[in-house]
Amino acid sequence: MTVIKTENLVKVYNSKHLPVRAVNNVSLEIEEGEFTAIVGPSGSGKTTLLNIIGGLDKPTEGKVTIADTDITGLSDSKLIDFRLKNIGFVFQAYNLIPVLTARENVNFIMLLQGRSQREMNERAEELLTQVGLSDKMDVRPNKLSGGQQQRVAVARALASHPRFILADEPTANLDSQSAMNLLDIMWKLNQEENITLVFSTHDQRVIDRARRVVTLVDGSIAKDEVREPVVPAQ
């Protein structure tokens, strides 16, 4: 089943003075359960493409369909609601809410969805345990390492039962060990729970784990390959 479909996406910045085509005629289909890495040099349009797929930015031309919804036609408020229900985000700089504990950060998404307190607590505990932070649930982000914060961010992204997770350079700020831990968790989620993952990355370790690698150059798809990922050691 196709989860994400982009058709002839174009994104032009500074269109009046110095037009820059950050994304140029990108058409892409991502199936449910795929682990896709979008790679390319800096300025190739990876983040812009991810932002458009995630509904954070609007394309200049083309459309994005998530499941059966054309999100390019949604109003801002409907788009926010759509993101809340369908998309999980993991950012490069973790971006947890600093005044909330790990558990509260995970709960927050569910709270916005109007879940019950009991449901929120159960899900948060389950997710934080899954990412190996059962002993850090009531700790605020400033008391967690970068790797731990990013794992909370993953748990937060999963909290709303999204259709897919978008991760923008999730390992860029992590040390080697933390990056590998995170990748193992993400791999496991993908393999065991069939969670669709779309990463933008420079990191070869991430690329190695992906089943599909889409290479962008100057905003256009230069290569789109499906291959066997490197399986983590058990």
Q: Where on the chain is the footprint of other proteins (CB under 8 A)?
A: 47, 51, 54, 56-57, 76-77, 80-81, 83-85, 89, 91, 93, 95, 97-100, 104, 107-109, 111-113, 156, 160
* Smallest gap from residue 209 Cβ to other proteins (A): 24
Of the two residues 93 and 226, which places its CB atom closer to other proteins in the complex? 93
- Spell 83-114 as b/e; 16+ CB within 10 A means b: beebbbbbbbebebeeeebbbbbbbbbbeeee
* Smallest gap from residue 46 Cβ to other proteins (A): 12
Of the two residues 173 and 220, which places its CB atom closer to other proteins in the complex? 173
Of the two residues 105 and 209, which places its CB atom closer to other proteins in the complex? 105
Give the CA count within 13 Å in the CB-facing half-sphere of 213: 20
* Smallest gap from residue 53 Cβ to other proteins (A): 11
205 membership: H or E segment, kind and range: helix 204-209
Of the two residues 86 and 215, which places its CB atom closer to other proteins in the complex? 86
* Smallest gap from residue 231 Cβ to other proteins (A): 31
Alpha helices in 54-113 (DSSP H): 76-86, 102-112
Cα 4 to Cα 26: distance, rounded to the nearest angstrom: 12
Instruction: Report the alpha-carbon angle 61-67-1, nearest 5.
Output: 120
* Smallest gap from residue 88 Cβ to other proteins (A): 8
Of the two residues 47 and 178, which places its CB atom closer to other proteins in the complex? 47
Of the two residues 12 and 84, which places its CB atom closer to other proteins in the complex? 84
Task: Tell me if 37 sits within 8 A of 206, measured CB to CB.
Answer: yes
* Smallest gap from residue 17 Cβ to other proteins (A): 18
How is residue 169 written in tokens?
Answer: 């350079």
Strands 87-90 and 164-168: parallel
